[in-house]
Amino acid sequence: MQIKSETGLMKILFVCMGNICRSPTAEGAMRRRLEEQGLHELVRVDSAGTHGYHVGEPPDIRTQRAAKARGLDLSRLRGRQVAPRDFDEFDLILAMDGHNLELLKQQCPSWHQAKLKRLLEYRQAGSEADVPDPYYGGPKGFELVLDLVDEAVQGLIEDLKRQGLGAGRKTS
């Protein structure tokens, strides 16, 4: 992964199936961590779904409730589907699970395949490869998603810092 040289702005897309649970949670968690570390002007984040089930809809109310309890407001986010231009525009495209990663690989031009990864590759501890879909489960599933995503986005930021993101920049 490389930070785009023409703008210096890193662009990251989080992807799940419908873009109403896991990927908006990752987008919100990443935004908060970047703001906390004074890096929010250096990284642009977005989220999308591999399917168009919920285009234009806000995140699932259960996702919003669980996030709100941890100080994340996801209410302004709206679902969208991955578009062909996303593979050109984003530097890193992070799938929430293996199934959605495979769907992305099928759509992605060969010259952009290296941009595709699973979010949990950035998690420092644990053996989970996938962020589980909480949609058909109970409230604990949404809490688990928040835990996994928050750990992974912090690991992602640490990785970006090792690559020079924010180097020479004062953070508050």
To 10 degrees, the CA torsion angle through 152, 89, 64, 78?
Answer: -170
pTM given for the model: 0.93
The answer to whether 133 is a known catalytic residue is: yes
Q: Which one from 21, 22, 31, 33 is the annotated catalytic residue?
A: 22
Tens-place pLDDT, residues 15-66: 999 999 999 999 999 999 999 999 999 999 999 999 999 999 999 999 999 9
Residue 169 confidence class, pLDDT cut points 50, 70, 90: low
Rounded-to-integer distance, Cα 141 and Cα 155, Å = 21
Tens-place pLDDT, residues 76-110: 999 999 999 999 999 999 999 999 999 999 999 99
Can you tell me whether residue 14 is helix, strand or coil?
strand
**pLDDT score recorded for residue 172:** 46
- What domains does the chain contain, in order, with CATH numbers? 10-162 (3.40.50.2300)
The answer to whether 21 is a known catalytic residue is: no
Residue 126 confidence class, pLDDT cut points 50, 70, 90: confident
Is the predicted pLDDT of residue 139 greater than 90, yes or no? no
The answer to whether 22 is a known catalytic residue is: yes
What residues contact residue 71 under an 8 Å CB cut-off, 6+ apart?
A: 32
Contact 8, 41 (CB under 8 A): no
Contact 131, 142 (CB under 8 A): no
**pLDDT score recorded for residue 5:** 40
**Residue 2 falls in which region: left (phi positive, over 0), alpha (psi -120 to 50) or beta:** beta
Q: Which one from 46, 60, 86, 133 is the annotated catalytic residue?
A: 133
Rounded-to-integer distance, Cα 25 and Cα 157, Å = 16
**pLDDT score recorded for residue 2:** 52
Strands 92-95 and 43-49: unpaired
What does DSSP assign to residue 86?
A: H
Residue 4 confidence class, pLDDT cut points 50, 70, 90: low
